[in-house]
Amino acid sequence: MTLPARTAPPERILMGPGPSDTPARVLSALAGPVVGHLDPFFLKVMDETQQMLRQVFRTENKLTLAVSGTGSAGMEACVVNLIEPGDKMLIGVNGVFGGRMKDVAERIGAEVITLTRPFGEVFSTEEIAAAVAEHKPKVVGLVHAETSTGALQPLEEISKVVHAAGGLLLVDCVTSLGGLPVEIDKWQIDAAYSGTQKCLSCPPGLAPVTFSERAVAAMDARTTKVSSWYLDMSMVRNYWSNQSRAYHHTAPISMNYALHEALRVVLEEGLDNRFVRHRENHLALCRGLQAMGIQYAVEEQFRLPMLNAVFIPEGVDDKQVRSRLLNEFGIEIGGGLGPMAGKTWRIGLMGAACTKRNVLLFLAALEDCLRDAGCEVTPGAGVAAAYRE
C-alpha cells in the first residue's frame, strides 16, 4: 500500500449553509496539548464553557452544556430526554430539519402530530394554538432558523400558547445561535439545541444544549429509561456538574478547547454587535442580489440574516455556477434541499464569514458567472448597490 500524501486542505471562503469560516485563534486552540477528560485544567475549561454558553443562550439554566456530537446529536439529546414512548409531540415541519425532528421522535415511539407548511413559510401563533388545544401535546418542537429554507420562525407568542396549555417548547437553534437573538429565558424556551459550526464559527463536533427547570423536572419524572445511553442527560449532566463530576464518557478534549475559544470570540465582540453585523451584511447582500435581478425565496419579514435562500435565475445551471464559484473563486455556497433542490441557492453569512469583503467578493464573482450563463446583468450593479448609503 502506498502511503497517502499528507492532508493539505484547500482554503475556501465558506458562504454555504455551514460549516462557516473558523478564526485562526480557534484553530490554534484545537492544537493545544491533550489532557485527560477529568484533568483539573479540562474541568476548568468545561466550567468556563458552560458559563459562556449561558451568556450566548441568554439563560440562567443550570443544565446548559455541550453535547459530544454535532448539532444532530443535540437534537436527539433534547428529544429523547423529554419524550417517552406514547408521549404526544407536536412538530412543525416547514423544511428538512423539522422533518428530521419528526423522524427522531417517531423512532423513539412518540405519538407525533405534524403541522406542515410549504418550504420557505413559517407557522402562525394561531395555528399552533389550535393544534395545541386539539391535541394537548407534552412537547412542541419548532425550528427557529430553518437552514434548508432560510426562514426565521417567531417564537415568543407561540411560547406563551404552549405554556398556557401545560406543554414544553423545544427549539432548533442550530443556525441562529450567535447570529440572531436567542432569548431562552425571556421567551421561556424549555429546551434548545445548536451546533458549533454555524454562527459560532467553530469546527463541527459539539452541540450546545440548554434545558429549563421545567424540562429538567419532566426528565426527572420519567418512568422509562432514556432510549440513548450516550445522550442520557441524567448521567451526562453529572459529568458537567462541578459538584459531582461523575465519569460518563471521554469528551472530545480538543473540540472543547475550540468551542471555549470560539465563545470568547463571540463575547468579546458582544452579542448585540454581532447581531447588528449579521443584519447589516445581510441587507447589503440583499440589495446587491436584487440589483442583479435575483429574488429571495422567503418573505422579507421572515428572512434569516445568516442564511439567504434565493431563486436561481431561469435558464441558469445550478451546479455549474456553484462549481465555478468554488473552483475559480474559492467560494462555497449551498444548493437547495427537498422541493427547493435545483431551484434555490443558499448563501451563508455566518460568524467569521459574515464580512463586507465576502459580500462584495461574492457579488462580483456571481455576476461573472451569471453573465457567462447568458443573464443580462448590468456590470457592477450588485457591488454598487450592496453598501450604498
DSSP character string of 246-279 = ---S---HHHHHHHHHHHHHHHHH-HHHHHHHHH
How does DSSP assign 78-104, residue by residue?
HHHHH--TT-EEEEEESSHHHHHHHHH
- How much is the pLDDT for 388? 83
The CATH number given to whatever domain includes residue 64 is 3.40.640.10
Nine cell digits for residue 96: 428538512
In the sheet with 344-348, reading across from the earlier edge strand, the strands are 307-311, 344-348, 334-335
Residues 276 and 356 in one domain: yes
Given 228, 243, 268, the domain boundary residue is 268
283-293 pLDDT, tens per residue?
Answer: 999 999 999 99
User: What's the mean pLDDT when you consider all of the chain?
Assistant: 96
Q: Is residue 18 part of a domain?
A: no
Question: 176 and 87: one domain?
Answer: yes
Instruction: With respect to residue 294, please indicate whether it lies within any of the assigned structural domains.
Output: yes
pLDDT value at residue 243: 79
Tens digits of residue pLDDT in 107-146: 999 999 999 999 999 999 999 999 999 999 999 999 999 9
From the list 116, 109, 104, 115, the residue with the least C-alpha distance to 87 is 109
Residue 121 lies in a domain: yes
Instruction: Check pLDDT > 80 for residue 389.
Output: no
Domain match, 184 and 332 both: no
* Residues 253 and 342 reside in one and the same domain: no
Cell reading at 75? 437534537
| Model confidence pLDDT, tens digit, residues 218-271 | 999 999 999 999 999 999 999 998 777 888 999 999 999 999 999 999 999 999
Residue 152, domain extent: 24-268
How many angstroms separate the CA atoms of 375 and 147, rounded?
Answer: 28
Phi, psi of 296 (to 5 degrees): -80, 155
- Single-letter code of the amino acid located at 164: A
Confidence class for position 1, pLDDT limits 50, 70, 90? confident
Distance, in Å, from the CA atom of 259 to the CA atom of 206, rounded to the nearest integer, reads 8
**Residue 111: enclosing H or E segment and its boundaries?**
strand 111-116
pLDDT > 80? residue 299 = yes
The total of structural domains in the chain comes to: 2
230 and 314 belong to one structural domain: no
What's the first-to-final CA gap in the chain, in angstroms? Answer: 61
Residue 66 maps to a domain: yes
Claim to verify: residue 254 and residue 330 sit in the same structural domain? no
- Which of 236, 253, 268 terminates a domain? The answer is 268
Q: Do both 306 and 379 map to the same domain? A: yes
Distance CA 320, CA 162 (A): 45
Query: Percentage of the chain surpassing pLDDT 70?
Result: 100
Q: Mean pLDDT, to the nearest integer, of 93-107?
A: 97
Contacts of 188 (CB under 8 A, 6+ apart): 159, 160, 163, 169, 212
Answer whether residue 17 is part of any domain: no
Residues 93 and 168 grouped into a single domain = yes
Amino acid 358 reads N
* Residue 9 belongs to a domain: no
SS (H, E, C) 27-41: HHHHCCCCCCCCCHH
**C-alpha span between 370 and 363 (Å, rounded):** 10
Residues 160-189: pLDDT tens digits? Answer: 999 999 999 999 999 999 999 999 999 999
Give the domain-ending residue among 246, 268, 290: 268
3-state SS track over 322-338 = HHHHHHHHCEECEECCH
Residue 370 CB partners (closer than 8 Å, separation 6+): 292, 313, 316, 321, 377
**Do residues 175 and 238 share a domain?**
yes
Cis peptide before 23 (omega within 30 of 0): no
Q: What does the pLDDT look like over 362-373, one tens digit per residue?
A: 999 999 999 999
Residue 37 has pLDDT above 80, yes or no: yes
Domain co-membership, 173 together with 52: yes
Beta carbons of 47 and 379 less than 8 angstroms apart = no
Q: Which of 83, 141, 82, 133 is nearest to 115 (CA)?
A: 141
Question: In the beta sheet, which residues pair with residue 310?
Answer: 296, 345
313 in a structural domain: yes
- What's the CATH number where 381 sits? 3.90.1150.10
User: Residue 66: its pLDDT value, please?
Assistant: 98
Residue 194 and residue 74 in one domain: yes
Q: Does residue 378 lie within any of the structural domains?
A: yes
**Could you tell me if 63 and 194 lie in one domain?**
yes
CA atoms of 76 and 83, how far apart (whole Å): 10
DSSP state of 46: H
